[in-house]
Amino acid sequence: MVKEIYGKKLGMTQIFAQDGTAIPVSVIEIKPCTIVSKKTVTKDGYNAIVVSFGEIKEKNVIKPRKGIFTKANVPVQRHLREIKVENLEEYEIGKALDLNVFEVGDRVDVQGISKGKGFQGVIKRHNQHIGPMTHGSMYHRRPGSMGATTSPGRVFKGKKLPGHMGSVVRSILNLDVIKIDFDKNVLLVKGSIPGSKKAIVRVRTTVR
């Protein structure tokens, strides 16, 4: 069975090891993810299960999406996500995936959408140095030289310039599972993970 599930980032805290060492951990709330449908190689080109999670009022669900839950005979939920699997026979529609897929000591990868920073300059976006601040300099936080004036007469692709920062998919690999609290449905992993509080994250067994 695949060891992958979706959850919600609650924030960060720290716990203490037996020798008193403080361990920074990210707290991920993982409630049961219900299997609502399957995707097959013959019809869709790959094997996957579709899971749902998150609370939502039924009146706020559009009819096409509500039909998915009606067909599976499960209550409506807010989010739908796919998990690729090798053997579909191991999974049954209506069953749920929960924290039991992981154990303390496992190494996991956590994927999420990083915090959006909006439009930022090169100093914040690319960690470039600030210009001279004295002796009449008027070039403080700008990008710097654009290159040659006549040849090649253009700005090369990939030059680090101001622009949109953040709000992209990021993965943090090889995080240790420090603690699992089944009563509170939370998973504690060592270190930081992408996203703001309440962001949806994907947790899976590490690929490395």
Encode 117-162 in three state secondary structure: CEEECHHHHHCCCCCCCCCCCCCCCCCCCCCCCCCCCCCCCCCCCC
Q: Identify whether 16 is part of a domain.
A: yes
Helices (H), the chain: 41-44, 63-72, 122-126
Domain assignment present for residue 115? The answer is no
Report the distance separating Cα 164 and Cα 120, nearest Å.
Answer: 6
Instruction: Check which CATH number belongs to the domain holding 22 and give it.
Output: 3.30.160.810
pLDDT in tens, 42-77: 999 999 999 999 999 999 999 999 999 999 999 999
Q: In terms of residue numbers, what domain contains 8? A: 4-100+178-194
Number of domains in the chain: 1
154 belongs to a structural domain: no
**Residue 160 resides in a domain:** no
What is this structure's pTM?
Answer: 0.85
In a domain, 63, yes or no: yes
Query: Could you report the per-residue pLDDT of 76-85, keeping only the tens digit for each?
Result: 999 999 999 9
166-192 in b/e form (b: 16+ CB < 10 A) is eeeeeebeebbbbebeeeebbbbbbee
SS3 content of the chain, % helix, strand, coil (to 5): 15, 40, 50
3 pLDDT above the threshold of 90: no
Pick the closest to residue 4 from 92, 82, 66 (CA basis). Answer: 82
| pLDDT tier at 195, thresholds 50, 70, 90 | very high
In a domain, residue 36? The reply is yes
CA distance 203 to 33: 12
Residue with tokens 């899976």: 204
In a domain, 167, yes or no: no
Backbone φ/ψ region at 141: left (φ over 0), alpha (ψ -120 to 50), beta: alpha
Supply the pLDDT for residue 123.
Answer: 95
In a domain, 204, yes or no: no
d(CA 103, CA 118): 38
d(CA 205, CA 208): 9
pLDDT band at 116 (very low <50, low <70, confident <90, very high): very high
